[in-house]
Amino acid sequence: MILLLVTLPIAAQRFGSDDRRLQLTADEAASVAEQGIQSTDPEQQAWAAYLVGKHRLEPLYPKLIEKLQEKVAEPRNFQVSKMGVLLATLDAVVTIEIQVPVKLGWDVYQRFPDEGIISAGPRKGNAG
């Protein structure tokens, strides 16, 4: 949740607090998230992760886990925009309380110990 508190205000400031993406219905959010999570644009990926978490879009949980695996595997010296995707995705996984695969939990733990412990613990849903 802390990660979201850091990334969302930055995005809201950049796009304005009346940004349409902050006012989507659950159905609209599902459509935007489905497209955004597959986008090559880091901004779209981060918004997609946020929307999956905010609206608890269960059908997209597996794709969220795939995105987290992809971002955790990237080198540590990657672009700041890609780091935003990683943080937004990790925040969504923690917020919606889905359990990640053990290897991914370990990979997350090595970079973000608190979030790694949280994401590897018992959860409501299982994405893998």
pLDDT mean across residues, the chain:
78
The better pLDDT of the pair 3, 113 is held by 113
Q: Report pLDDT for 77.
A: 60
Residue 15: per-residue pLDDT: 42
Percentage of the chain with pLDDT > 70?
Answer: 72
Residue 18 pLDDT more than 70?
A: no
Sign of the C-alpha dihedral computed for residues 23, 93, 67 and 4 taken in this order = positive
Bridge partner residues of 102 (DSSP) = none
Which of 28, 48, 30, 29 is closest to 38 using CA atoms?
Answer: 48
Q: What is the DSSP letter of 126?
A: E
* Least confident span in 39-43, 75-79, 85-89: 75-79
Question: What pLDDT score was predicted for residue 17?
Answer: 44
Per-residue model confidence as pLDDT tens digits over 36-74: 999 988 888 988 998 999 899 999 999 999 998 888 887
Q: 0.85 exceeded by the pTM?
A: no
Residue 26 predicted with pLDDT over 90: no
How far is residue 106's CA from residue 21's CA, in Å, rounded to a whole number?
Answer: 32
- Whose tokens are 């659950």? That residue is 26
Q: Is 80 a residue whose pLDDT tops 60? A: yes
